[in-house]
Amino acid sequence: MTTNTRGSIGWALLLVGRLALAGIFLFAAYAKLKPQASMGWSMASAKTSLSMFAMQVDSYQLLPPQLVSPMAHFLPLFELFLGLWLLSGILFRYSALMTTLLLGAFFAMMVRTYRMGLEINCGCFGPGERLGVGTLLRDGSLLALAIAITVGAFAISRRKRAQVDAQVSSSTVSAPQHAE
């Protein structure tokens, strides 16, 4: 397998991983913001959905009550932003790194809660999903994917920079010869 072929496969895997994570984050944000019961989309319905999400954040018993609501309002919007950022591909290695950090924080929080024996809803994709081995495996897999694409993104970036440096140095070496 040539270096070029390997590079293309690596790039394609990164693309798939990036789009998958983007889709997952966009869906997670949608699930938290979508109207509950049979309400239509409105500011009031979003407020109710976020208040409902706040109850899930609160049940993790990690934050003081005064921080629960700001966090519950921030997280879905940040997930929306991260999903769009991943989708755009802009500054990919940084969006991948941010995704890894966020998923790492989620995973650590879930493991802590599971070890404490709290039987609560996960809150990962909206209400109604219990935190358990299944959700831990799923989020652990997502974290592994995020770590893989972050490492890949930095590796490709470094390789590209090395190629550019090599081109620049070869052109500066050859330039005086042309001048002669």
Partner 1 sequence: MNSLTLSGSRCVGRLSMPLLAFILGAAVLFVPAVRAQGTEAAAPTAKPKTATKPRAAAPDAAASATPVKTFGNKNAPITMEVFSDYQCPSCRTFFEQTLRPLLGPSPDGYVADGKVYLVHRDFPLPMHPYSFQAARWANAAAKIGRFQDVDAALFDNQGSWGADGNIEKFVAAALSPADFKRVQKLMTGCEGATSTAGVKPASLNSGSGAQAASGCALDAYISSDQELGKSVPVQATPTFVIFYKGQKYPASSGFVTYPILKQFFDSLLSQ
Q: In the bound complex, what is the minimum distance in angstroms from residue 61's beta carbon to partner 1?
A: 7
CA separation for the pair 93, 103 (Å, rounded):
15
Q: Residues 118, 137, 162, 166: which binds partner 1 (CB under 8 A)?
A: 118
Backbone angles phi, psi at 72, to 5 degrees: -65, -30
Q: 42 to 81, contacts with partner 1 by CB under 8 A?
A: 43-48, 50-52, 54-56, 58-59, 61, 65, 68-70, 73-74, 77-78, 80-81
Task: From residue 59, give the alpha-carbon distance in Å to each of 9, 71, 141.
Answer: 43, 13, 24
Token digits of residue 37: 């019961």
Binding segment toward partner 1, per CB under 8 A, in 101-109, 120-128, 135-143, 171-179: 120-128
Judged on CB neighbours under 10 Å (0-12, 13-18, 19+), 174 is exposed
Position 20 contacts partner 1 (CB under 8 A): no
Tell me the sheet residues that pair with 126. Answer: 124
Minimum gap (Å) between residue 35 Cβ and partner 1: 10
Q: What is the dihedral of CA 78, 136, 112, 58, to 10 degrees?
A: 50
37 interacts with partner 1 by CB under 8 A? yes
Residue number with CB closer to partner 1 (67 or 144): 67
User: Helix H segments across the chain?
Assistant: 3-33, 43-59, 65-88, 92-116, 133-179
93 binds partner 1 (CB under 8 A): yes
For residue 66, the minimal CB distance to partner 1 (Å) is 8
Distance CA(113)–CA(128), nearest Å, equals: 17
- What is the distance, to the nearest Å, from the Cα of residue 93 to the centroid of all Cα atoms in its chain? 11
Residue 136 in contact with partner 1, rule: CB under 8 A = no
Shortest Å distance, C-beta 37 to partner 1? 4
Would you tell me which residues interact with partner 1 (CB under 8 A)? Answer: 15, 36-39, 43-48, 50-52, 54-56, 58-59, 61, 65, 68-70, 73-74, 77-78, 80-81, 84-85, 87-93, 118-121, 126-128, 130, 153, 156-157, 160
